[in-house]
Structure 1
Amino acid sequence: MLLYNVTLILEDAAAAEWLKWMQEVHIPEVMATGLFVSNRLLKVLDSPNEGVTYCAQYVLENQDQYNTYQSTYAPALQEKLNEKFKNRFVAYRTLMEFIA
């Protein structure tokens, strides 16, 4: 099992709009790809960064599903995010493997 984690640091003024958009639009679109087993959205409480930090996490069964997501779906979904919240966030993406 793999965990695809997207950490976003948002400007304070964009945080509420982004959160609503994630819950109502983006996460449902990501899950509609059929590649992910589950997802969760977390708010980082002790972030050393300016603004508001969230982590969107998605669980996949294998590397092939991740590769399919990255090649087939991620570019368009990330472009929607970039268009809607242009210059109001920074994102870091990591892929992790469950060990225990």
Structure 2
Amino acid sequence: MYLYNVSIIIEESQHETLLSWLQQSWTPTLPSDIKFLKMLNTPHEGHTYCVQLIVSDERQIQQFQSEHIVSLQAHIAQHHNEKAFIFDSVMQYL
């Protein structure tokens, strides 16, 4: 089993706009078992949001990336260039 985590860090000045888009436009397109979280006590300035998915194999991660992360990246590049960035990580359950 794998945990796929996508973290989105957004500057204070842009966070309300991005959060609204995430909640109203992007997350409704995601599978129902996706978790959408706000990171508390983050060492980063601004706000950090996370999207987490638990899958049984890495192929499912690649599929999720191509179906959903591409649109997230495009939106951030177009509307929040240099004000937000995303990074992802894959963890394996032991």
Q: TM-score, normalised by structure 1?
A: 0.75
Number of the residue aligned with 2:9: 9
Matched, 1:78 2:62: no
Alpha-carbon distance change, 61 to 27 in structure 1, aligned in 2, over 3 angstroms: farther
The number of residues matched between the two structures is: 93
Determine which of 40, 49, 64 is the counterpart of 1:54. 49
Structure 1 unaligned residues grouped into runs of 5+: 32-36
Structure 2 unaligned residues grouped into runs of 5+: none
Percent identity of equivalent pairs: 28
Alpha-carbon distance change, 29 to 82 in structure 1, aligned in 2, over 3 angstroms: farther
Encode CA deviations 1:44-76: one digit per residue, 9 max, x unaligned.
Answer: 221121111121212223212122333x42434
Determine which of 59, 73, 77 is the counterpart of 1:64. 59
Q: CA RMSD in A?
A: 2.0
